[in-house]
Structure 1
């Protein structure tokens, strides 16, 4: 069995693969770690046979190590996100169903080479920030089993922090993708709402739910986010998102002294003060701001009519199975009974007023630096006072999705008792990529490692990680095809697989070496949509690549089936003389495979 590194960070795993290790061996070792780990972390583990079948499928389409963005990386999925063939319970056995299709984000991650290892525990119906509200047990902080793991994405955080998964998916409505990161010394990336599709997610508050990523480092987690993001027409809240830049020298907002509440946790208060000092040493200008409108907005999530959205998510189930629900979750959800449309509008009016007041504070700063949680509690204390103590954890997180923010939670040290603490960078909508370099630097400066590997050094993130240009490739430049090296030699990165809109036709051009297709758009044509890949290059590499494209091929704007327009290969219609139409194959790879099969048969 392969010896795994303590943490399955991407650099360590890729080095292992580059040295000759097989994903088969890695999965064997991961399965052993799952069996030996926190028994409450997973609700359903993928069978070893299923994981190895996924490995074989990966090796069949991408045999060379590290040739896909997430090649061979094992990941866990919070059990309110669908994985085909594995039950989705949302932390409630009576609710369970077995989906036949993957959630859209899971589909994209698998296409990028990642391997699902199982479904993780959570606060039931993603209602809670502590991790104890589950009939499947309470996952524990990897640093002290007496303390909560944080929730609701409890098992996902523990899986990453304990070295079982390279990354894991969580969700975040009130802070569930950030608080567990803080309590386990890992990174939690919460995308801006609408940036990552939620198709296949059991909703908590559908209008503000976000699927999130836990990783050992900022670099790892944002790489996963980049694979997941992109418009999905099946998600009513999905949108075409831009990348918003931030200044090189950040003005970081910290709450005024009167708004810094740590509920008597002096060790956390000291660690927050130290994080502010480190941020200043890294070049940020520290600016105090009025946190009151943010806090007031945060309170609406559980004290206002948005509780009714939680009831809407489970209304049919609750009507027939209320007794099957966790008592605390049921109490919270039933708090919505009797709320009216009038209450909903009053809540909207209050939220808009707080947004207006917060806008004046945003004008003073570029981003916020907040404690991820002002406190941590033992499991026993949380069970004794489940609502009041849980509410503390959301003091600095609950507002973020209401305000459309991006957020990255990073480790920020340990208390004298050995308990982890974290801080979160919060930025305006779509500053997701722009936050990453400073978040990574802040993590590294804390010197607290990654998960249980407390001496490890997290990688940096380049200052402009998203300063890259996407390009759609159709034929000989696809992964594993003869000209793919022209991309990889320019440090191109595979972003995702995709399909064109249905009004494109594909032809095998005559006399090309190696064989190449020509893609032509024909408005009104109703085809199958053609399998393509979206790669990205830095501006210099993009320029060199397109300068080498021979006629009759060129670069134009292609429409993909998600409605997005991306630069990609097109063909001059005059070049179709003598060409063979291959549209019916659904893509160049399938056509080439059919030719190879016919040749072998003859």
Structure 2
């Protein structure tokens, strides 16, 4: 029997398994039916064979019957193809780079140990360099709501397969917004945890000091459940950090949100959906939250450093030797960005470290007055053909509100916020807080998403007023 519930949300699957109306093997078989019947879109790079996935489901049933605790029992998931999964090639969207890992990334190992079932590896901007979803030899990913518009990236395929109802959650990575931008354009949740909360062992590095394993899910609760299974200190990973104990309880007077000043929004030429963001502000106020306008200038100044030198040089350190040895096997836009860092000196790099340190110090007092910052997840969607014709400036528009987060050691939670009437593409808002306040963001994001009142993924478009 093949059976897939109306929603692949973890809570829905758990209820079906508990009631005996579904089994993991039936759900997995139904998902493979969906994958084979899905519209042609290059969201997948490789897929676990159906027989192997069904065998994993049967094995889980036996483990559960033997009394093993499996918090993610029978939950299907996918991983971005710069994250190692044993038995599947890791390509980083560059076939010449491909290798077959003997072991999975630690994050994947922990999910499998918790009872999750791997379905496959997803498409991405090559070497996770870009926010568009169009920089891949496997094809450009589109928003699930309009095939002419880019999905956002670099974790493009991961957001798409969650929105399409092919997995319950998917792993992405996030260095400058890759775990948030595609969540916004595909009406799903994107969780970007504090740097070091989830081990990056087994991840093809981009910027090792900034990289995070991120989660795409249908709800904030689902994203947190996946995070709980993955997180934890990893002594074998030099960028892993011990997790402090934070509760994330709201203050007595309700959450205090910082929002961009009117001039910060009006002064950004790439902004669309200003009415949707205004609605998000009204929704927050209706929840009893207090809004304060915040000067985004120091945040945006930090964001400009992402591709201003030092952190491009970090990409050069990560995979520049491969690109230099295989220039014709790498997309020109990726090759030119990374090899362009050859002229950056150590003195230039330290100057930017000092600049970033000064910006962090200037921003720090702000967190005494607000609990989180709310910004548009991305400025506006773009057509795929426009991004391919002029990739750099349009890609930078995607990252306007996201580039600064990891550089400033902040955590972030992207949640849906409605749809643009003209294109039908989804738009999101992102909540941002200091490192280790992930639980706080989960509470804020879940409340705001619930107040929106639209179902996640593809189902949200039919229920949106913009679709009427």
Q: Aligned partners of 1:444 and 1:295: how far apart in 2?
A: 29
Deviations for 1:59-110, whole angstroms, at most 9, x for unmatched residues? 2211389952110000000000000010000000000000000100000000
Which residue of structure 2 lines up, in the alignment, with residue 389 of structure 1?
394
Deviations for 1:90-148, whole angstroms, at most 9, x for unmatched residues? 00000000000010000000010000000000000000111000000011111111111
Check conservation: 2:172, 2:214, Cα contact below 8 A.
yes
Map 1:150-549 → 2, pairs under 5 A: 150-244=152-246, 245-248=248-251, 249-261=254-266, 263=268, 267-417=272-422, 418-454=424-460
Check conservation: 2:419, 2:461, Cα contact below 8 A.
no
Check conservation: 2:105, 2:200, Cα contact below 8 A.
yes
- How far apart are 1:261 and its partner, in Å? 4.8
**Alignment partner of 2:172: what SS?**
strand
- How far apart are 1:17 and its partner, in Å? 1.7
Q: Aligned partners of 2:143 and 2:446: how far apart in 1?
A: 22
Is the deviation greater in 61-70 or in 447-456? 61-70
Which residue of structure 1 lines up, in the alignment, with residue 466 of structure 2?
none
TM-score (structure 2 length as normaliser): 0.94
TM-score (structure 1 length as normaliser): 0.74
Which residue of structure 2 lines up, in the alignment, with residue 26 of structure 1?
27
Check conservation: 1:450, 1:456, Cα contact below 8 A.
no
- How far apart are 1:16 and its partner, in Å? 2.2
Answer with 1 or 2: which has the greater Rg: 1
Q: Aligned partners of 1:93 and 1:319: how far apart in 2?
A: 16
Structure 1 residue ranges (4+ consecutive) displaced by more than 4 angstroms after TM superposition: 64-67, 261-267
Q: CA RMSD in A?
A: 1.8
Q: Aligned partners of 2:87 and 2:169: how far apart in 1?
A: 20
Q: 1:95 aligns with which of 94, 97, 108?
A: 97
Larger relative contact order (CA 8 Å, sep ≥ 6) = 2
Q: Aligned partners of 2:267 and 2:122: how far apart in 1?
A: 30
Check conservation: 2:454, 2:460, Cα contact below 8 A.
yes
- How far apart are 1:267 and its partner, in Å? 4.9
Q: Aligned partners of 1:453 and 1:222: how far apart in 2?
A: 22
**Alignment partner of 1:185: what SS?**
coil
Check conservation: 1:74, 1:115, Cα contact below 8 A.
yes
Check conservation: 2:126, 2:334, Cα contact below 8 A.
yes
Unaligned runs of 5+ in 2: 464-468
Q: 1:58 aligns with which of 57, 60, 66?
A: 60
Q: Aligned partners of 2:377 and 2:436: how far apart in 1?
A: 20
Unaligned runs of 5+ in 1: 458-602
Which residue of structure 2 lines up, in the alignment, with residue 12 of structure 1?
12
Equivalent residue pairs, number:
457
Q: Aligned partners of 1:310 and 1:68: how far apart in 2?
A: 37
